[in-house]
Structure 1
Amino acid sequence: MSDFLIDEELLAAIDMGSNSFHLAIARVDHGEVKKMASMSEKVQLAAGLDENKNLTEAAQQRGLACLARFVGRLTAVQSNRLRIVATNALRQAKNGHEFIQKAAEILPKPIEIIAGREEARLIYLGVSHTMANSGRRLVIDIGGGSTELIIGEEFEPIHTESLQMGCVAYTKAYFADGEISKSSFEKAVVAARKELYSIANTYKEAGWDTVAGSSGTIKACRQITVNMGWSNEQENLTREGLEKLKDRLLKFKHVSEMEFDGLKEDRRAVLPAGLAILYAVFDVLDIDKLVYSDGALREGVMYDLLGRFQHEDIRDRSVQALMGRYNSDPKQAGRVVKTAQHLFDSVAESLKLNNEDSDLLRRAAYLHEIGLAISHSSYHRHGAYLLQHSDIPGFSQIDQNYLSHLVGNHRRKLRQDAKTEALKAGGNKIVYLSLLLRLAVLVNASRSDAMLPAIELSIRNAQQWQLSVSGDAKQWPLLVAELHDEQVQFKNWDIELNIQSEQFVD
């Protein structure tokens, strides 16, 4: 099938939020994502984090059962048209890998744990595609474990932040027994204000023309104020309406007593905490009114996926931005990319590598020298660290981990424990791609556009590789000698590299 999606083809996204899991299925209609079906379940994964930040067995079972039900709705969606993203609860969970391994037995695609700022970017993308453009926009999304705040124009975010405050986390901290009091509400508001003060000046200086809110907390607060007659003529959520909602909330002593027209039962327990966070946002950022948007993370995920198929992949823009930030040599990166692609194409079928693996190798080849911006000594390790710990738009934490392994292993000695770590991270493909990148870098060690020998790589089996260097190899004695040395490193990772040339034959 073509890389381009055509009308009527389906896309799907699963958003594993800290409070709720969401499934959205959509079709592509003239370049737009039109939602066809959706499911939502209150899993409250964040509520299942114990005092040691481990997910309890009960929370894991709730999540797995929900995912199993979602999968039953995905029979018409091809796996490469699906993305599954997880947010704050799995970012925080120390045993999140256990849950991910269990989920892998259910899901057709791996779970992507996305960083807070990447979550913010995707939320903004979802909101901006479901609202008319209206100048500079501030977007607020209060989730179960974190709150994302984004300033952007049209489809481009300018500032993205993810703050550690969410309706489930704050419910546990301030309203755990369901009791409501002015004191507990104020404590929650003060805690949220402290989080917001870190970004308030930057955001106020940037400014915005309109404010939009998305997801459950803001949807519930806005709906209540509309039903109670506390919104404005455009049915926006206003500061005055929020004040009235707070005053009414504090008349109740327990969440079970709350009576609000439009409040869903599954939102009841987390409303006080969510309202406290929203109240603090309005206060610290001096917001007068907010319009609700149906677009959120899952819509943003689908638009981002659509962009990948239409060759508007944010990941490639991020790669170029990183190269610019760390002043990488674009000519040398281009040489390594070209060689790496040639080697990949020769062995992809034999090693069972796919197009996603090709993209991963290409991006690692572009980025393999970013660590030089820190120091020449051990620059591969510096590069690996930067890729592991930076906020890189478009990449999940797993994606960044893959890139880190490739860049970290592209030169110097290959240790057996590094192979073990690579296998644990992504299986044999990370091992193979790391070795392909090593060869591509080595072949281009001269950093010259002068004619290089023709090289061909073939696979006898997964543990036996053969590299042929054609032409008069005497012209490149250093290259052949270095390839000879590289045989030792390949052997450290249990792969036999045979080299054939006029000067050196195994």
Structure 2
Amino acid sequence: MAAQWEDRPSRRSAIVDLGSNSVRMVVYEGVARNPVPIFNEKATLRLGAGLEATGMLSEEGIDRALEVLARYQAIGQAMKVEPFDVLATAAVRDARNGDAFVKEARIRMPEARFRVLNGEEEADYSAAGVLCALPDADGVVADIGGGSLELIRVRDGAYFEAGTTPLGVIRLRERSQEDMEEAGKIARKTLADVSWLETVAGKPLYLVGGAFRALARLHVARMDYPLNMVHLFRLDRAEAEEMANWVIGASRKQIEKVGNVPRKRMVDAPFAAQVLLALLDRTDAREIVFSAEGLREGWYMREVAASVAEEDPMEALAREMAGRLGRNASLAEPLITWVSPVFLTGLDWVEDAFLAAQLRLACIVSDIGSYDHPQYRAEQTYRRILYCHGVGFSHEARAFLALVLGVRYEINRDDPVLEPSRRLLSKERYDAAVRLGLALRLVYTLCAGTEGLLEGTHLAMKDDKLVLSLHGSRLRSGGSAISRQLERLAEALGRKPLLR
């Protein structure tokens, strides 16, 4: 069994991601399958501005970078981070004055390890970051920065065919002289030279990088999407093309009116959209998936958390939450055994692997509201799941599990707080979440969160009946509360309740 959260060593690690457009420092707490950032600060430097014409890093960007790096040195020292790594990417490796800049930067950060990544190394880290969230990813990772676009083939938990192209948004804007039509031509011509892209026709695109995230944020706001969350936001090809074409054709005023994007990113968004359209044409991707996990998270999983990399990210977080917020984390497996005979046999919805997986997770996190105020427990638990910082939770999984927990704590099903679940789930999955929540409500009423009172009890469907059997001394566990919860679940399942 995976190590318990509390058994893992307490440590802090830090990475400084020094890119063509910005620099960001992230400090992570501990060693966990789901990276836990406790400090995250970004500064826009635009080191790569003018690089295409001059071959040099921007002097203004260098001055600003050295100032920011000195601050990051002080933060890393104060927080006692180890390891403490600075990873420089396209602009620094391509600039004629890149080595001189690194020499000056080392003086500002004497306790940090500096690495100027080549294109393949940068791509490797980005792919590892995507696989941190999506171990089963099968497609192309595209990580866009200011100076380059990294492309990586991922499949079966591995990545290969990693390479770099000069399609970063700053460089593309300068090469095209801010002509959008020319930018599109450059992007298509560049990608035509990446021969291995022909082998991934129809596979998903996993989009990483701030400029791609800006596209997602604009679309989320423009479409009034129920979660303002970029990570694992998915669009089919038609939706992706509509989004990209709108950004390319929109005026700066229209983009500003939509909002949800930093002003400094608005100028980059149309060029990222041109790169996306070229990628869609070149790969014939049927779906795009935005990932907030990229180079930094890839570094974390390889350099800090390699020992837990094989864990399932969703179950790892579920068990951490159960251990930290619940009364009895050891109840999860007995609950799964108790609930499964009803929900994994005889119901059409269990043919969906998604729902079977969510049943297991729901049982693990089923008691995480136990210490919340009773008046707000249902809503608090719903929001805790919906907005949790879990790298592996798809938006649909969040909506499903949050609804299960809300119903388990008897939320009013007309409550407006449930609107994300209503919009993100099909009717079949919404109803399944309600049924599972009612089943968990029943079992907790029966056993009060203890294995002892669960032993000698059994829930099963027989013909048109939902049968709850209480054996021997467990008969004393019966009562009006049990009967009432059994009736509610039986009604939701279209069965007649029978308590014996």
Measure, in 1, the Cα distance between the counterparts of 2:200 and 2:237: 21
Give the distance between the partners of 1:110 and 1:270, measured in 2 at CA: 30
Residue in structure 1 matched with residue 270 of structure 2 by the alignment: 272
User: Which residue matches 1:197?
Assistant: 192
Contact kept in structure 1, 2:50 and 2:174, CA below 8 Å: no
Alpha-carbon contact 1:225-1:241 (below 8 Å) kept = no
Task: Work out the CA distance in 2 between the residues paired with 1:311 and 1:227.
Answer: 34
Query: 1:223-271 deviations in whole A, cap 9, x for unaligned?
Result: 2222222989985234333333344345445579753332221201211
Please tell me the residue identity of whatever aligns with 2:184.
V
Change in Cα spacing, 1:205 to 1:50, as seen in structure 2 (3 Å) is closer
Could you tell which deviates more after superposition, 63-72 or 20-29? Answer: 63-72
Match of 1:142 in 2: 144
Residue 187 (structure 1) aligns with: 182
Pair 1:257–1:58, CA change in 2 (3 A): same
Shift of 1:167: 0.6
Distance in 2 separating the partners of 1:104 and 1:84: 10
Q: Which runs of 5+ in 1 are unaligned?
A: 177-183, 313-506
Query: 1:73 Cα deviation (Å)?
Result: 2.3
Among 120, 124, 127, the residue aligned to 2:127: 124
Tell me the equivalent position of 1:291: 289
User: Percent identity between the aligned chains?
Assistant: 23
For the structure 1 residues 146 and 251, does the alpha-carbon distance in structure 2 shift closer, same or farther, using more than 3 Å as the test?
A: closer
- 1:156 aligns with 158
Q: Is the 8 A contact 1:79 1:109 kept in 2?
A: no
Q: Secondary structure at the match of 1:46?
A: coil
**Count of paired positions:** 299
- CA change 1:195–1:28 in 2 (3 A) is same
Please tell me whether the aligned partners of residues 51 and 57 of structure 2 are also in contact (alpha carbons under 8 angstroms). yes
Match of 2:216?
A: 222
- Distance in 1, matches of 2:288 and 2:200, equals 18
Q: RMSD over aligned Cα, in angstroms? A: 3.0
Give CA deviations for 1:386-407 in whole Å, capped at 9, x if unaligned.
Answer: xxxxxxxxxxxxxxxxxxxxxx
The letter for the 2-side match of 1:229 is M
Deviation at 1:22, TM superposition (A): 1.3
Matched residue SS, 1:294: coil
- TM-aligned CA deviation for residue 274 of structure 1: 1.5
Equivalences for 1:396-415 in 2 at 5 Å? none
- State the AA in 1 paired with 2:258: F
CA contact (8 A) 2:12 2:81 kept: no
Counterparts in 2 of 1:294-305, with a 5 A limit? 294-305=292-303
The residue that corresponds to 1:52 in the other structure is 54
Corresponding residue to 1:211 among 181, 205, 208: 205
Aligned counterpart, 1:65: 67
Deviations 1:45-75 (A, max 9, x none): 1115373312232121121122123223212
2:31 to 29, 32, 42: 29
Hey, what's the Cα distance between the residues in 2 that align with 1:111 and 1:219?
A: 27
Report 1:452-491 matches (<5 A): none
Say which of 103, 112, 117 aligns to 2:115. 112
CA distance in structure 2 between the partners assigned to 1:28 and 1:187 by the alignment: 47
Change (3 A) 1:93 1:208: same
Aligned amino acid, residue 293 of structure 1: S
Provide the C-alpha distance between the structure 2 equivalents of 1:232 and 1:288, rounded to a whole number of angstroms: 23
Q: Do the aligned partners of 1:151 and 1:160 also contact (CA within 8 Å) in 2? A: yes
Deviations 1:347-387 (A, max 9, x none): xxxxxxxxxxxxxxxxxxxxxxxxxxxxxxxxxxxxxxxxx
Please give the alpha-carbon distance, in whole angstroms, between the structure 1 residues aligned to 2:49 and 2:127: 26
Separation (CA, whole Å) in 2 of partners of 1:115 and 1:269: 27
CA positional deviation for 1:116? 0.3
Q: Quote the residue 1:336 is aligned against.
A: none
Q: Which residue of 2 aligns with 1:488?
A: none
Quote how far apart the aligned CAs of 1:36 are: 2.0
1:208 deviation in Å? 7.0
What whole-Å deviation, never above 9, does each CA across 1:446-466 have from its counterpart, x for those lacking one? Answer: xxxxxxxxxxxxxxxxxxxxx
Q: CA deviation at 1:110?
A: 3.9
- Aligned pair in 2 of structure 1 residues 211, 36: CA closer, same or farther (>3 Å)? same
User: CA 1:306–1:239 in 2, change beyond 3 Å: closer, same or farther?
Assistant: same
Cα 1:147–1:231 shift into 2, 3 Å: farther
Specify the alignment match of 2:486 in structure 1.
Answer: none
**Match of 1:124, as an amino acid?**
A
CA distance in 2, matches of 1:214, 1:110: 25
The offset of 1:6, in angstroms, is 5.0
Q: Contact conserved, 2:301 with 2:309, CA < 8 A, in 1?
A: no
Equivalent residues of 1:14, 1:21 under 8 A apart: yes
* C-alpha displacement of 1:198: 1.6
Cα distance change of structure 1 residues 301 and 255 upon mapping to structure 2, 3 Å threshold? farther
**Structure 2-normalised TM-score?**
0.54
Runs (5+) with no aligned partner, structure 2: 1-6, 311-500
Matches within 5 A, 1:408-447: none
CA contact (8 A) 1:143 1:166 kept: yes
Tell me if structure 2 keeps the 8 A contact 1:23–1:298: no
1:18: which partner in 2?
Answer: 20
Give the SS at the match of 2:16. strand
- Equivalent residues in 2 for 1:348-387, closer than 5 Å: none
Amino acid corresponding to residue 189 of structure 1 in structure 2: G
Contact kept, 8 Å, 2:17 with 2:23, in 1: the verdict is: yes
Q: Which amino acid aligns with 2:116?
A: I
CA distance in 1, matches of 2:125, 2:171: 22
Q: How far, CA to CA, are the matches of 1:208 and 1:10 in structure 2? A: 41
How many angstroms apart in 2 are the aligned matches of 1:192 and 1:26?
36
| Cα offsets for 1:426-485 (capped at 9, x unmatched) | xxxxxxxxxxxxxxxxxxxxxxxxxxxxxxxxxxxxxxxxxxxxxxxxxxxxxxxxxxxx
Compared CA separation, residues 112 and 15, structure 1 to 2 (3 A): same
CA distance in 2, matches of 1:11, 1:156: 25
Q: Do the aligned partners of residues 24 and 128 (structure 1) sit closer, same or farther apart at CA in structure 2, a change above 3 Å counting?
A: same
Check whether the contact 1:15–1:23 (CA below 8 A) recurs between aligned residues: yes
> Distance between the aligned counterparts of 1:250 and 1:123, measured in 2?
26
SS of equivalent residue, structure 1 residue 74: helix
Query: TM-score, normalised to structure 1's length?
Result: 0.54
The answer (yes or no) to whether the contact 1:122–1:301 under 8 Å persists in 2 is yes
TM-aligned CA distance change 1:97 to 1:158, over 3 Å: closer
Cα deviation for residue 221 of structure 1 reads 0.9
CA–CA distance in 1 between the matches of 2:206 and 2:216?
11
Q: Find the counterpart in structure 2 of residue 243 from structure 1.
A: 241
- C-alpha contact 2:57 2:95 (8 A) present in aligned 1: yes
